[in-house]
Amino acid sequence: MKPERNILIIVQNLPVPFDRRVWQEATSLHRAGFGVAVVCPKKKIYTKSYEQLEGVDIYRYPLIYEADNGVAGYFVEFVYCWMASLWLALKAYSHRRFHAIHACNPPDTFFALAMIFRPLGVKFVFDHHDLCPEMYVAKGRPRAGFLYRMLLLLEHLTLRSADMVIAVNRSHRDIALQRGGVDAAKVVIVRSGPPRAWADFRVAEPRLKGGRKYLVMYLGEMCQQDGVDHLLRAVRHYADSCPKDTLFAFIGGGPDQQRMKDMAQKMELNDWVHFTGRVSDEVLWQYLATADLCVDPDPYTEWSDLSTMNKIIEYLAFGKPVVAFDLAEHRRSAQDAAVYVHPNDDTKLYAAIHELLIDSERRQTMGHYGQKRFREQLSWENSEEALVKMYSSLFHYREDPVGTASASADDLRDAKKQLNRRAE
pLDDT, tens digit (0-9, with 9 covering 90-100), for 105-134: 999 999 999 999 999 999 999 999 999 999
In a domain, 418, yes or no: no
Q: What is the mean pLDDT of residues 89-114?
A: 97
Cα separation, 328 vs 331, in Å, equals 5
188 and 46, same structural domain? yes
Q: What is the mean pLDDT of residues 182-195?
A: 96
pLDDT computed for residue 418 by the predictor: 45
**Are 94 and 150 in a shared domain?**
yes
The pLDDT score that the predictor gives to residue 70 is 65
Own/partner pairs for 43-51, CB < 8 Å, 24+ apart?
A: 43/14, 43/15, 43/18, 44/15, 44/18, 46/15, 46/16, 46/17, 46/18
Do both 212 and 285 map to the same domain? yes
- Assess whether 171 and 129 both reside in one domain: yes
Which CATH number is 202's domain given? 3.40.50.2000
Q: Return the bridge partners of 103, or none.
A: 10, 126
The length of the chain is 424
Q: Total domain count for the chain?
A: 2
Q: Are residues 208 and 121 in the same domain?
A: no
Note whether 191 and 208 are same-domain residues. Answer: no
Given a contact cutoff of 8 angstroms between Cβ atoms, the answer to whether 89 and 117 are in contact is yes
87-92, Cβ contacts within 8 angstroms, sequence gap of 24 or more: 87/61, 88/39, 88/59, 88/60, 88/61, 89/8, 89/10, 89/39, 89/113, 89/117, 91/59, 92/8, 92/37, 92/39, 92/57, 92/59
The mean pLDDT of 131-152, rounded to a whole number, is 91
For the ranges 148-152, 198-202, 376-380, which has the lowest average pLDDT? 198-202
**160-173 pLDDT, tens digit each:** 999 999 999 999 99
Residue 103 falls within a domain, yes or no? yes
Across 272-281, average pLDDT = 94
Shared domain for 53 and 67, answered yes or no, is yes
Q: Do 174 and 218 fall into the same domain?
A: no
| pLDDT top residue among 235 and 3 | 235
Q: 105 in a domain, yes or no?
A: yes
Let me know if residue 419 belongs to a domain. no
Q: Which domain holds residue 16?
A: 6-195+379-413
Whether 156 and 294 share a structural domain: no
**What pTM was estimated for this model as a whole?**
0.88
Average pLDDT over residues 71-81: 80
